[in-house]
Amino acid sequence: MQSVTKSVVSTVIGIAVGRGDFPDLDTPVLKYFESGSVDNVDDKKRQMTIRHLLIMTTGLEWNEDYPYSDPRNTAANMQGVPDWVKFTMDRPMSKEPGKPFQYNSGATLILGHLFSKATGMDIEEYTVRYLFNPLGIDNFYWKRTPFGLAETQEGLYVSSRDIAKIAYLYLKQGMWEDKSIVPRTWVNVSITPFVFITDNRSVEYG
């Protein structure tokens, strides 16, 4: 699955938003970290919200454009330390949140951390209850970080047929066998471009 995991995580967050289990997307990320536990806190980092994590516009200093075998790749460096969430949150800010797109696997990892803090449930447990079980997905594996957090950036393994079920949900506006699984509003906002990736605006991200 690799980074298709990120789309499943977004889907589960949409389900949690629809159920009232997840906070407003404009909630500051720092709200879910104890004071003094995050390095390089400034006005830019205080402005970073859950929405910025979802659309890869965190403003964090991050470069994932190099091959993952290259030591200049920030995500590869993240996986070389025990606490991946802290590594990501401690990064200095390079830009104001919400402005430029910067692909950041650590951002989705933070979403997994926030999810457990906000809902009181591990994201894998929530996914099984509200997404996998309704769709009949029972053969999967979700890798964990050294600290036991679900690898929300790339660690989910499911079959091609089962990931097709999730894609089918989006084709059907979040419906599965006449039952709403993902809110229609979340489906629509998920496929709406929020930021341009290329200068010529030929590639967009939602």
73 pLDDT above the threshold of 90: yes
Name the percent of the chain lying above pLDDT 90. 94
Instruction: Return the percentage of the chain with pLDDT > 70, whole number.
Output: 100
| Block residue for tokens 């025990």 | 82
Is the pLDDT at 201 greater than 90? The verdict is no
* Most confident listed range (25-29, 96-100, 197-201): 25-29
Alpha-carbon distance of 131 to 133, in angstroms, equals 6
Alpha helices in 93-198 (DSSP H): 105-119, 123-127, 133-135, 160-171, 184-190
**What is the pTM assigned to this prediction?**
0.95
Residue 102, pLDDT score: 94
Domains in the chain, CATH or no CATH each:
4-196 (3.40.710.10)
DSSP letter string over 11-61?
A: HHHHHHHHTT-S--TTSBGGGGS-TTSSSS--HHHHH-BHHHHHTT---B-
| Window from 172-176, 191-195, 197-201 with minimum mean pLDDT | 197-201
Task: Note the pLDDT of residue 162.
Answer: 97
